[in-house]
Structure 1
């Protein structure tokens, strides 16, 4: 791969148009501006459902994750203004707290967005980052491809837009600010390819170290995949006969630069990495089932639910859920990529073949990894072990979801798409009668993948009890307050309302439970435990969740009241409140009346204050005197 013009002939790829050419700068910048505006417009189109009313609209397919990232935005403002630890908090999961380093804490984003979060709220910060992520992802790939692989801005733009708005990333736009930050990959890859520049190993190493630290704080899992893909690519590329001498000559410079990068990243990430692997309330593995979150082989041939192809009934329900449709490229795209690879290979010189070989191996490796421990075809799991059956026991792999390895295939397809479109536009290599056919194939492959806007629904507005600060009359300094039902991924209102109070500043309250990843039990040895979603349930939070989720109302006994007294004491709970409306999760309607009936039976008559029902919790006293 070319690093800086001129590059060694053996590995020379088409460089960008030279900046010194007459008239080039205005033309290049005009192309960049057009691409940026197109990417931003498309991102706004995809997220318009949230922009139309960010305060009462929520992503239908992932209410819980949106609440979690909005909470992080609020906590970012709290971190900056209170000097709090960005990697651990006791505001969630009282009394144990949450290890944010072991979660997706997007620290860089939350700090940068503090002015907007304070002025407009975490809801606006969330949709702003989501929109800029999608646009920035497409633009970053465009710049990368234009710099390293293709001459034509149009070819880089087509491939960049494909990458930024590929099905897998539109799927993750349902709440995942970490995974939609896919721009991290081309930015890091750019710097990796610059490591062999002669005489610049110190500067390039420092820059890469800074990028690694930033990438870890925004998308740690994505950074892991990027590093793994970079290693596979460089390893395979350097073994090519045509570039072996070139790779050997560059090795000392690259090694020095990597050493510098490791030192810089190690210094910046020392504390976050300690917290991630050995801090309080950390855990091993993940709270998700690695046998379930795998890629169905047939999904590569299908179309996603939020695509033009789906409008014509071409989508398939083959993903673990709608936020994990990580492949879904469709048969035409896969055929196009295979044909393009063959054509590019036949016409490539030995240096370019080394690049194509490495790109192809990366794609194959990550596709196979996405299949998980057992082969799954059309929702049927075959007892055929895959490589991930072994890798699942290794560090880092044990905490990854196999289905997400398919996201690397997006970059591989984007690279091959850029190369073949560049050939079609420039006609530098005659394709004969294939030109018209390939051009049509590109259109047919891309059209069904055009994304549709994300689906949104109404969510409960913030009650005046929270917005006006009335809650302070019921909770002392450092006290604990909870909405009913308690905050979880399927009932996240209480967590996002806490986020709104943090964004305003001032005194805060703690909440029990919450949506996060943590250890399986309430013990202190979290590092030796398997991860789970949320806090280990107690009898009382399950009592309210069951009422909300299933409408189940039970006749409470004295044992239930004694258990509630114990649970309230454990949480240090000072008060609970029931809002006039409860937001369901993922198209689910929750039963508020069943929650109110349960709360009245357990806690007695409430106070009605600022639109909510409030119950004070008297420590050491039965919830209702009988």
Structure 2
């Protein structure tokens, strides 16, 4: 089974051709697309590359800190062993279930040599850049193999898929969702399942791919499985391809059986941890009604596009990282017109493909709208299908707006088919080609991406970099930055990441930015970060708002109990605290902690409050 049902037999079933002019041209097209994709990716991430140790993506400071921590945790696993799906050194004393978080475990292990050599900051920038470039190139190869033999058509559509507004938006800190190569790679092997005699190999490879991709982008893998399954079923039900579908059924079912066995064998433990391990939870830490698409967003432009730079911005998304559709009015009109044009000219086999694409695109568009219809920021009382899905397993942990990302692949296939059709002189009148070029320019130029925004992060204090902290924290002890690490103030989590990347003795930290349960029971719903206690909220409130509390003896008694719960040895206040939009109110934090605990010690470039007096820095 092929997407576009090409007239020639599959490339892998033919003997390797000699190196001819055609083969050389094909390799030149591969290298050209790869160079364009990598160049665009570097262009988008250049703010990080200028100063990877001092710059951070400004629209998602917290997520970058989390992924840098995960990448550093990979080096800790390789050096000292441990559980790749549960971390006890974060969020003490409870720990963090990494299987239930977007923990990119495969990346953390694969890139651990780079993390050890250059730090998690450089590894983060490297993976983000390769994700964007790799997605575009993977889509190009997929489209060239399964949709069109026209390298230009596949290249244009592949670049669009890799740098579509939704994926550029998720490049604001999301190493999981910027891994757009997952979909074309998995779909490639799904379509290979129809090969007779190769069901064992194809099934085993797909099972291995699913296991790897689960540890990188589980939510994206879920969407890919839904979209791929829907496409295959709708395609197979078309009368024109029932013979081909019947012939492919036996090897496909056999291959998928092998896939299930291999994937389950590799994922048994992470799936157990994800659904029933310690510190797991139900649902998600985010409001699904809030993270749903506005119907108008499909016709609007995202923040990091030329159109927004020209003044056509909007506030229809939950935040700059979740602008998952935002194709713009010209592209939406072009894609609808493209579907109509191709439909009218399609032979029965191509019509089966177009019908399947239309069903997948329409279905995922409707699902992305969430449980209630939202129009230009107004949430109506009109219920939508997601209202029935939102409590089902897996759907309850997904954000509906992200289902719109599937339309990127649908549009990419339509784009490749349209370009191929209009460039073929035997299928298209020459007069149509200038109009086609103008239409695509009008549709694609407004969504050309702008570089990701960045800001400065607080530098790592010498107290951490020089390992002075080891004189204040015993083996297995706990250190915390003030305020405690959380998504809006993640410095402490970064410090721990830096020390893990360098190796040697490590400290534990309370709190952190992660997803965890909102209660101590086994059925807690998801929330962001640890369950708050009075003392850490006292510090965070001072940092975020500059609020000075009237600290009394009751607060001090509560602080003693909280410190005992966390097992904290020392609290550390740096010269500057990184917040989501710039430095936080450090002076208010110093006044609050001094009122609570008394004067600090000045050590290197930080202030230190020793909580456990049994550790004497002079004797160590």
Residue 545 (structure 2) pairs with residue 550 (structure 1): yes
Q: Which moved more, 1:336-345 or 1:14-23?
A: 14-23
Find the aligned partners of 1:30 and 1:313 in 2 and give their Cα distance: 38
Aligned residue number for residue 575 of structure 1: 570
Superposition deviation, residue 435 in structure 1: 2.9
TM-score normalized by the length of structure 1: 0.96
Aligned residue number for residue 419 of structure 2: 421
- Tell me if structure 2 keeps the 8 A contact 1:122–1:503: yes
- Tell me if structure 2 keeps the 8 A contact 1:99–1:276: yes
- Tell me if structure 2 keeps the 8 A contact 1:13–1:352: no
Note the alpha carbon deviations across 1:381-430, whole angstroms, 9 max, x for none: 01000000000010000000000000000110111011111122233412
Q: 2:363 aligns with which of 355, 362, 365?
A: 365
Aligned residue number for residue 381 of structure 1: 379
Aligned residue number for residue 276 of structure 1: 274
Note the alpha carbon deviations across 1:569-590, whole angstroms, 9 max, x for none: 00000000000011111x2541
Superposition deviation, residue 351 in structure 1: 0.5
Aligned residue number for residue 2 of structure 1: 2
Residue 454 (structure 2) pairs with residue 460 (structure 1): no
- Tell me if structure 2 keeps the 8 A contact 1:15–1:150: no
Residue 109 (structure 2) pairs with residue 111 (structure 1): yes
Change (3 A) 1:159 1:18: farther
Find the aligned partners of 2:72 and 2:125 in 1 and give their Cα distance: 14
Q: SS at 1:384's partner residue?
A: strand
Find the aligned partners of 1:543 and 1:34 in 2 and give their Cα distance: 55
Note the alpha carbon deviations across 1:164-209, whole angstroms, 9 max, x for none: 0000000000000000001010000000000010110000000100
Superposition deviation, residue 323 in structure 1: 0.1
Aligned residue number for residue 256 of structure 1: 254
- Tell me if structure 1 keeps the 8 A contact 2:3–2:147: no
Q: 1:197 aligns with which of 190, 195, 199?
A: 195
Q: SS at 1:20's partner residue?
A: coil
Q: 2:602 aligns with which of 590, 602, 608?
A: 608
- Tell me if structure 2 keeps the 8 A contact 1:202–1:260: yes
- Tell me if structure 1 keeps the 8 A contact 2:334–2:440: yes
Find the aligned partners of 2:286 and 2:209 in 1 and give their Cα distance: 28
Find the aligned partners of 1:328 and 1:15 in 2 and give their Cα distance: 37
Aligned residue number for residue 595 of structure 1: 589
Note the alpha carbon deviations across 1:278-316, whole angstroms, 9 max, x for none: 100000000000010000110111111100111111121
Q: SS at 1:323's partner residue?
A: helix
- What is the number of equivalent residue pairs in this alignment? 614
Superposition deviation, residue 432 in structure 1: 5.7
Q: 1:130 aligns with which of 105, 108, 128?
A: 128
Find the aligned partners of 2:111 and 2:157 in 1 and give their Cα distance: 30
Find the aligned partners of 1:302 and 1:247 in 2 and give their Cα distance: 39
Residue 221 (structure 2) pairs with residue 227 (structure 1): no
Aligned residue number for residue 165 of structure 2: 167
Note the alpha carbon deviations across 1:116-170, whole angstroms, 9 max, x for none: 1011000000000000000000000000000011111111111011010000000
Give the ranges of 4+ consecutive aligned residues of structure 1 lying more than 6 Å apart after TM superposition: 11-18
Superposition deviation, residue 252 in structure 1: 1.2
Find the aligned partners of 1:302 and 1:381 in 2 and give their Cα distance: 17
- Tell me if structure 2 keeps the 8 A contact 1:15–1:151: no
Aligned residue number for residue 532 of structure 1: 527
In structure 2, runs of 5+ residues without a counterpart are 615-620
Residue 557 (structure 2) pairs with residue 562 (structure 1): yes
After superposition, residues 44-443 of structure 1 pair within 5 angstroms as: 44-431=42-429, 433-443=431-441
- Tell me if structure 1 keeps the 8 A contact 2:3–2:353: no
Change (3 A) 1:261 1:14: closer
Find the aligned partners of 1:582 and 1:317 in 2 and give their Cα distance: 28
- Tell me if structure 2 keeps the 8 A contact 1:15–1:146: no
- Tell me if structure 1 keeps the 8 A contact 2:423–2:433: no
Q: SS at 1:47's partner residue?
A: helix
Q: SS at 1:195's partner residue?
A: helix
Find the aligned partners of 1:397 and 1:18 in 2 and give their Cα distance: 44
Q: SS at 1:580's partner residue?
A: coil
Note the alpha carbon deviations across 1:15-42, whole angstroms, 9 max, x for none: 9999527433222111111111110010
Superposition deviation, residue 358 in structure 1: 0.3
Find the aligned partners of 2:15 and 2:323 in 1 and give their Cα distance: 40
Superposition deviation, residue 12 in structure 1: 8.5
Q: 1:33 aligns with which of 31, 34, 54?
A: 31
Change (3 A) 1:499 1:428: farther
- Tell me if structure 2 keeps the 8 A contact 1:370–1:405: yes
- Tell me if structure 1 keeps the 8 A contact 2:479–2:569: yes
Superposition deviation, residue 13 in structure 1: 10
Find the aligned partners of 2:266 and 2:295 in 1 and give their Cα distance: 40
Q: SS at 2:149's partner residue?
A: coil
Find the aligned partners of 1:581 and 1:538 in 2 and give their Cα distance: 24
Superposition deviation, residue 3 in structure 1: 8.1
Note the alpha carbon deviations across 1:196-224, whole angstroms, 9 max, x for none: 10110000000100110011010000000
Change (3 A) 1:588 1:16: farther
- Tell me if structure 2 keeps the 8 A contact 1:185–1:223: yes
Aligned residue number for residue 617 of structure 2: none
Note the alpha carbon deviations across 1:537-574, whole angstroms, 9 max, x for none: 00000000000000000111111001100100000000
Superposition deviation, residue 603 in structure 1: 1.1
